[in-house]
Amino acid sequence: PASTTSRSMPASDTLMRRARAVIPGGVNSPVRAFGAVGGTPPFIDAAKGAWLTDVDGNRYVDLICSWGPMILGHAHPLVEQAVQEAARKGFSFGAPSANEVALAEELVARVAPVEQVRLVSSGTEATMSALRLARGATGRDKVVKFAGCYHGHVDALLASAGSGVATFGLPDSAGVPASSAHETIVLPYNDLDAVRQAFAQHGSEIACVITEASPGNMGVVPPTPGFTAGLREITRAHGALLISDEVMTGFRCSAAGWYGLEGEQGGSAPDLFTFGKVMGGGFPAAAFGGRADLMAQLAPEGPVYQAGTLSGNPVATAAGLANLRGCTPEVYARLDVVSHAIADAASEQLTLAGVPHVVQWAGSMFSVFFRGEPVRCYDDAKDQDLAAFSRFFHAMLRQGVHLPPSAFEVWFVSAAHDDEAVNAVIDALPGAARAVTDS
C-alpha cells in the first residue's frame, strides 16, 4: 500500500543521469520527463493490473495506463497469452497474416461507418496517412484543425494558433516548414462560427477538418451539443472530408468509441477515423479507416501511397485483438465505477481544501482542471493554476499515485483498478488537496 513518506529513488536518479547522456532529455517521449511539474520521473521496472513498480521497488497506483492502451490493466493474462502464442510463431513476416484480417474485421464490426481500415504502427502514422488520403481524394491541400487538439507529431498538425480567431497556423515546433504550417488553419474548438468563416474564405481549398472525436489532449473538453454535427454539415456542403481522431477515445469511451456515444444519431458519420492505443493493447498497432470508396484511393488499389515494414505486425495485432475482445460490457461498467469513485473523491477533497477545480467527462474518460469555470476550448484550458496542479501531483506521487504529469491530460483508469487500488487513490487525496494550499 501507498506510504506517506517521501519516496527514495536512487536507482531512478542513476538511470536518469545515464539516460540524459544518451537520450535527449533522458526520455523517448517528452511528457515523460516531468518538464511541467519538475523532478525526476520514476523508471518503471514492471507493471501488473493497476500497479506499477519502479526500479527502487516503490509501488504506484497507475492513473496513466500507458496514456490509454492498458484499459484491462497491465499484463492482463488474456493479452499476455495471446502475445506469447504469437511470438512463438515468429515476430514479423513482411507478408499477409491472419491476425491482420481478424483485427481489421473487429474494428469494422465495431464502428459502423468504417468499412475498411489500413493498419499502421502509431497514432501519428494513422493521422498522417488519413491526412494524405484526404488530400489525395479531394485534390486540395489545406486542413483545418482545432487549437488544443493533438494528433501526433505530424508536420501539418503541430501548428497551433494562440488566439481565438481564425489564423493560418504558425509552426509549434522548430523544423516544421512554414509552407507546411501555412496549409493548416487552426480554429478554436467548439466554435462553429469560426469554422463557417474559414470555409466562407477558403472552402474550395480545404481538403478536410480533423478533430479529436472528444478532445482529451487539452484535458477532457467534450464537443458541445451540435458541434460535431455542425462540422459534418459544413464539410459536406463544401466537398471537404471530416476526419475523427479516435486514437484516445476509440474503444475507451464505449465499445464503439466516442462514435458509439455521439455519432450514431443520424447523418453525422465522419468520412475517416483514426485509432490507436486500446486497439494495440500496449503494442505498436494503430489504424485509419472509413468508407470503402475512399480507402480504395490507397496503394496498391489507388494513387495515394502509404506503407510500413512492421504494419500489421503479428505480435502487435494479436495483443490488440485480445485487448479489444477483453473489453466486455463488465469492463466498461467497471471503468464507470472506478472513474466516478476517483473523480468524486478528488472533487470532494479539493472542495474541502478550497481549491477551485472542475471535472469534465467524455463517457468514463475524465480530467480535473485547476480552475473554477468549465473549459470549452484551449484558451480556457490554459487558464488554470498550473502551480497548484504541480503541488497536487507531487503530493500524490509521494503517496504512491502515478498521475499524468500535466494538468492538460486525462486521468486514465483500467478495469483492473480494484477496490484496493481505488482506495489507495482515495486515501492519498486529502493530503494532496491540502498540499495545494500549504505552500
Catalytic positions: 150, 245, 277
How far are the Cα atoms of 96, 319, 324 from residue 102, in angstroms, in the given order? Answer: 12, 12, 11
Spatial separation of the C-alpha atoms in residues 376 and 360, rounded to whole Å: 10
- Shortest Cβ 280–ligand PMP spacing (Å): 8
Pick from 97, 99, 124, 235 the residue near ligand PMP by CB under 6 A. Answer: 124
Distance CA 98, CA 102 (A): 6
187 part of the interface to ligand PMP, by CB under 6 A: no
67 binds ligand PMP (CB under 6 A): yes
Cβ-contact 14, 55 below 8 angstroms: no
Q: Return d(Cα 222, Cα 381) in angstroms, integer.
A: 12
Identify the burial level of 222 via C-beta atoms within 10 angstroms of its C-beta, where 0-12 means exposed, 13-18 middle and 19 or more buried. Answer: buried
Residues 129-158 that bind ligand PMP (CB under 6 A): 150-152
- State the cell numbers at 155: 508536420
Beta bridge partners of 361: 366
Interface with ligand PMP, residue 69, by CB under 6 A: no
Q: Is residue 123 part of the contact set for ligand PMP (CB under 6 A)?
A: yes
142, 202 Cβ separation under 8 angstroms: yes
Residue 217 within binding range of ligand PMP, rule CB under 6 A: yes
Nearer to ligand PMP, 199 or 259 (CB): 259
Asked whether position 122 contacts ligand PMP by CB under 6 A, the answer is yes
CB atoms within 10 A of CB 378: 26
Residue span 235-274 as binding mask against ligand PMP, x where in contact by CB under 6 A, dash where not: ----------x-xx--------------------------
Distance between start and end Cα atoms, the chain: 27
Smallest gap from residue 284 Cβ to ligand PMP (A): 8
CB of 129 or CB of 390, closer to ligand PMP: 129
Contact region with ligand PMP (CB under 6 A), list: 116-124, 162-170, 329-337, 413-421 = 116-124
Binding site for ligand PMP (CB under 6 A): 67, 122-124, 127, 150-152, 212, 217, 245, 247-248, 276, 286
